[in-house]
Structure 1
């Protein structure tokens, strides 16, 4: 649910816009909207929890064949990535509603930096995904997850960084299309191949997949994030796989923020 409430972008002391203040203003407004209508956050968490409950037990008999000592240690990292993607890919629908209500136009005529308009909203989305990740991992421990504490924390943070990338891209695409009917199939068309080629349910390796599928999977940056979080859950913090997963998530978040800010700025014209 959207609201016509618009933030005020004015530094009372300096009489001009400041990046940190305006980012905070956008964030607080976005967070209030989420807290007033938490159903989307709950539904976003429901899907990975169902996978955890209904699919996770099926992996226990084959965990050893996949090189894992604990099936949930292999499976939960994929669910964190799924949570980051689906918790962020569809946030653009809310932005389209705000555009129709005139909120976006009011923000763009303000002196607020365009990056602040994106970062404030993305920060809200990252916090929501982070909290969802904490809940998901807490439930996973009840099912038998065995992983080091700091590995779990780093994995949740990495998944939240991935959410920042997809949320930024979703806002940019939504502001370009300005139509839910066009946004829905496009987001689904992006999400499905990325998820299937990332190995979130089962690892995709040269030993478990045909050569052509493994090659396509290696070209998918989301796969490297999944592999990185799995390494973190194994306590392998300094390995190339773990480091590359974090670097990839940071790079995707940076590209997404650039894309989002650039789209907001371009729409000014």
Structure 2
């Protein structure tokens, strides 16, 4: 509040005048704590301190010919320029024409319905995610179930001034959501050392092949090596395999990998010849 009071006091040096009055009694409204009354315009603290609303607030102050009042806690109001507590009789006579930039069509009475318009936006881009939703309920009652489920987004928070209840003043409440991070599980692969396709070996020659798991997602990967249809290696990280060079002719090596999420890597097939 100190930031706002300093900002208002700076401009008030040019706009001081007499106290404004009106026919509508302000105490008929449920005014949130730390709201600001500028002439006939009522703002919540969050709204007035929003940088996007700076031009609107500056215009309201410049055009105002009366004092500016700030509601503290309970029913107490202070004069922004003097910092002194204002008599309740003065506050009760103030007229409210707009609340957070929205026209107040008619002064509500105690016990009537209150209206809340919920606007869902992306907390990072301020992009509105869906059509605004309007809810009505008895003044003072809780508004439940107002958080919408939006595919691909997680709810973060609502305006800090929103109490969750219907009030005499029509409310516009911003609900902020954050886009979910999409995690792509890339399939694993294998790195082979010691064997390339089409090699020829002598009968009885001792040839080893190293097969290593490669997974960009850092998932534990299972590696399986088959030679001529028989499994010769199965490991979580790497396999050392002694190739069959006792049997003359062609041989087929098949290598498969799978991560702990069950995603299969592309099978690799190599051939070699023993003569």
Q: TM-score, normalised by structure 1?
A: 0.22
**Structure whose residues are more often strand by fraction:** 2
* Greater Cα radius of gyration, structure 1 or 2: 2
Normalising by structure 2, we get a TM-score of 0.22
Greater relative contact order, per chain length (Cα 8 Å cut-off, separation 6+): 1
The structure richer in helix per residue is: 1
